[in-house]
Chains A and B, each alone.
Chain A
Amino acid sequence: MAISPPSERLWWKEPVHRVELVWIIVAFLWGLVMFFMMIYWHATGQQNLSTETYRVTPNAYYAKVEADVAQWQVREMNGVPVVKPPAGADIHLIGRMWLWYPVLELERGQTYSLHLSALDLQHGFSLQPENINIQVHPGYEHVLKITPDEPGEYTIVCNEFCGLGHHTMLGKILVVDR
Chain B
Amino acid sequence: MGSTVFRTCPTTGLKVDLNAQALIKANAVAAVVFLAIGGLFGLSVALTRWPAVHLLPADWFYLALTAHGLDVLLLWIIFFEMAVLYFASAILLNSRLAAPRWAWAAFALMLLGGLITNVSVLQGQSSVMFTSYPPMMAAQHFYLGLILFAVGALIGCGVFFGTLVIAREEKTYQGSIPLVTFGALTAAVIAVFTLASGAIILIPTWLWSLGLISTIDPLMYKLVWWAMGHSSQQINVSAHVAIWYAIAAMLFGAKPLSEKVSRTAFLMYILFLQLASAHHLLVEPGLSSEWKVFNTSYAMYLAVLGSMIHGLTVPGSIEAAQRARGFNKGVFEWLRKAPWGNPAFSGMFLSLVMFGFLGGISGVVMGTEQINIIIHNTLYVPGHFHGTVVAGTTLAFMAVTYLLIPLIFQKEVMFPAIARWQPYVFGLGVAGISLFMMGAGTLGVSRRHWDITFSVAQFEFNYPPTAFLMLALNGLSAIAAALGGAMYIVVVVASVFFGKAVTDKITLTAPAGPPVSGQVAAYGSAGTLRLPGTIVLVGVFFVAFVLYYFVNWKYLSEVWPMR
Contact = CB atoms under 8 A, between A and B. Distances in A.
Decide whether A and B are members of one complex.
yes
Interface of A: 1-9, 11-20, 23-24, 26-28, 30-32, 34-35, 37-39, 41-42, 45-51, 53, 77-80, 99, 116, 120-122, 124, 126-142, 144-149, 155, 157-164, 166-172
Contacts of A16: 258, 260-261, 524-526
A138 to B, nearest CB: 6
B373 A126 contact: no
A48 B92 contact: no
Nearest to B453: A167
B260 A1 contact: no
Given A35-B301, A46-B557, A168 B457 contact: yes
A138 B218 contact: yes
A2 B179 contact: yes
A34 B368 contact: yes
A14 B288 contact: no
B62 A164 contact: yes
Contact of A23 (B173, B308, B447): B308
Nearest to A131: B444
Contacts of B246: 2-3
A167 B260 contact: no
A126 B378 contact: yes
Contacts of B545: 30
17 contacts: A1-B253, A6-B176, A11-B176, A11-B259, A11-B260, A14-B526, A15-B525, A15-B526, A20-B312, A31-B305, A47-B373, A49-B562, A51-B289, A137-B285, A162-B136, A168-B454, A168-B457
Interface string B524-563: 1111100100110010001001100100010011011111
A34 to B, nearest CB: 6
Interface in B159-196: 173-180
Lowest 6 CB-CB distances: which A-B pairs, in order? A14-B524, A31-B301, A142-B285, A15-B526, A159-B446, A17-B525
Contact of A167 (B175, B179, B450): B450
Nearest to B447: A159
Contacts of A45: 370, 556-557
B409 to A, nearest CB: 18
B62 A161 contact: yes
Given A45-B557, A49-B370, A135-B376, A80 B458 contact: yes
A158 B446 contact: yes
A132 B286 contact: no
Interface in B496-550: 521-528, 531, 534-535, 538, 542, 545-546, 549
A166 B378 contact: no
B542 A26 contact: yes
A63 B173 CA distance: 70
Contact of A126 (B250, B370, B377, B454): B377
Contacts of A131: 374, 378, 442-444, 559
Contacts, number: 316
A149 B442 CA distance: 20
B153 interface: no
Nearest to B320: A17
B464 A167 contact: no
Contacts of A48: 289, 370, 562-563
B280 to A, nearest CB: 9
Contacts of B556: 45, 47
B369 interface: yes
B135 interface: yes
Interface in B430-467: 442-444, 446-452, 454, 456-459, 461, 463-464
A20 B557 contact: no
B523 to A, nearest CB: 5
